[in-house]
Chains A and B, each alone.
Chain A
Amino acid sequence: MSESEPDMDLNGAPDAVDTAAQPASGDEPGAPPAIFDVEKLNVYYGDFHAVQDVSLPIGKNQITAFIGPSGCGKSTVLRCFNRMNDLIEIARVEGTIEYHGVDLYGLSIDPVEVRRRIGMVFQKPNPFPKSIYDNIAFGPKIAGYKGNMDELVEESLHKAALWDEVKDKLKESALALSGGQQQRLCIARAIATSPDVVLMDEPCSALDPIATLRIEELMQELKADYSILIVTHNMQQAARVSDRTGFFNVELNERGQRTGHLVEFDETGKIFTNPTVKATEDYITGRFG
């Protein structure tokens, strides 16, 4: 990361440099291949229509950020990508999310298999109340990993930039780590199962600026191997780390419910410098939200 100023001028678009450096950025022909294709996604919680008609492609080996005000459904949409909403009994999903051309909500799809390929990092660090080692080893173990577990644990911790801090206390409880370390442990845990995609639901909202920066740097490194989707409240963060950004907003629907929808989806540089929709511009310049 080049910029060290957290309070950078959003309209000055220092990130345009980042995005422009991407050979893949630009028009459709040069765009990276899509790993997900979302078509008319609707999510309901019981009678409540939470998200309406979201359609967008997610690029392979890109970082895609979802931004928007509270209650706009961005986390809900994110949790559709690994069928985490299945855990909420009253949640119902309509539309399709194609992953490499396969609909994740198809009848024959096993959500457990989906989650092995599409890992997740949550808003609040949620390590298992077990040792650091066991936190990493659990996912591979249940997936039937046959290789050298010690090496895998070390490799995962290396990738998550945590190895040097914990290499001497792998058998100690993960709960003894600081918040930032716990979140990096959760990232290591998510990548230990060698997923294709990592979903991050406001991964830095509980962390201090230094820990946040480390995680952002980490995301840049991980992008070579994984596709990353991140939900964030922090617009600077979206501007700093992401290749493409989706702006979600919330509107009252005809039944008086606060339903979220996707307003605009584009290259991050374009969203932050030259958005097409007025609401996007208002939001990123802080005029509402």
Chain B
Amino acid sequence: MATRNITVDTSALVRRSLEGKKINWFDQFVAIALLVSLLSGLLILATLLVSVFSSGFGVLADRGFDFITSRLSPDAADAGIFQAIIGSLILTGFVIVVAFPLGVGAAVYLEEYAPDTKTTRFIDANIRNLAGVPSIVYGLLGLAVFVKLMGGFTGGRTLVTGGLTLAVLVLPIMIITTAEALRAVPQALREASMGVGATKWETIRYHVLPVALPAIFTGAVLTIARAFGESAPLLLAGAVLSLFFSNSADAGIGEYVFDEPYTAMPIVIYNWARQPQQEFVALTSAAIIVFLMFLLAVNGVAIILRDRYERK
């Protein structure tokens, strides 16, 4: 039949157009280029890790927990990072206690309550600008405000000063990440809640915040990790940059926070890295390894928290 012939012809035509070229070279090229960029990133990271581990692992293996529980010392054989760990943990605690509630509160106000006016948009834009201000500038702020102006309360160059400086430093980032998390909550959810007679706060408390929480947590942890690694502002805000210093061994936590000199992990790493003796190179690497472990642990906790809230 005639129609049958036509079908065969059409079929051949369609087959030819569908089969196309054997290999799409351009697609292959793009895929390879993208893979190379990923690999070069990984390669740099791997180099860093290998060099740090190879030079620092010996110290950790030899001294074990002694390295973590020993105090700073100019004698490389005795030097440990106890004060730095405690300092960093308390500083991080300050950031969580001060910047997290303030940041989330400010973001909720900006996103849910503030009318969409020119003033609001101006404030919003400036918070974004603040997030980009170099951290050394926050160090100057810490020096001027928390060390000098509020010295009576903070005790000058103490953990309170350092903690408040870091909290102020990360506050804009905390606000931005929280605001973004809130913006991602669908408007339909707010309408559903208001539709059954919930007030604005009930809607935020029972529906918007729970949905946004995993994203808020993720943002907060990244932010806190950043504060954990900051050194420049702490140098200005009074962290001790020295091979050793002494805290009163029997100081209570209040005295420790308000009266004593302090230091932090990145400061010690920076300081040891400047020392000419070969022993300190290994110590620096060992401190970096401990530091990375802490970061890994913080991120792990964040992932667990986020998963738990997401499942609810």
Residues of A within 8 A of B (CB): 82, 84, 87, 89, 112-113, 115-116, 119-120, 122, 124, 126-129, 138-139, 142-143, 186, 189-190, 192-193
Contact = CB atoms under 8 A, between A and B. Distances in A.
Contacts of B194: 84, 87, 112, 115
A126 B191 contact: yes
A116 to B, nearest CB: 3
Contact of A190 (B115, B188, B196): B196
Contacts of A127: 192
A122 B188 contact: yes
A189 B191 contact: no
Contacts, number: 64
B20 interface: no
A128 B193 contact: yes
B270 interface: no
A112 B191 contact: no
Q: Is the interface of B mostly helix, strand, loop or mixed?
A: helix
A118 B294 CA distance: 54
A278 to B, nearest CB: 37
Contacts of A87: 187, 190-191, 194
Contacts of B188: 122, 124, 126
B199 A112 contact: yes
B191 A115 contact: no
A126 B192 contact: yes
Contact of B189 (A84, A128, A186): A128
Contact of A122 (B115, B116, B192, B211): B192
A126 B197 contact: no
B206 interface: yes
Nearest to A186: B192
B36 to A, nearest CB: 41
B198 interface: yes
A204 B107 CA distance: 36
B195 interface: yes
Interface string B189-215: 111111111110010001100010000
Given A89-B116, A124-B188, A128-B207, A138 B198 contact: yes
Contacts of B202: 142
Nearest to A82: B195
Contacts of A119: 195-196
A193 B211 contact: no
B207 A122 contact: no
Interface in B146-203: 186-199, 202
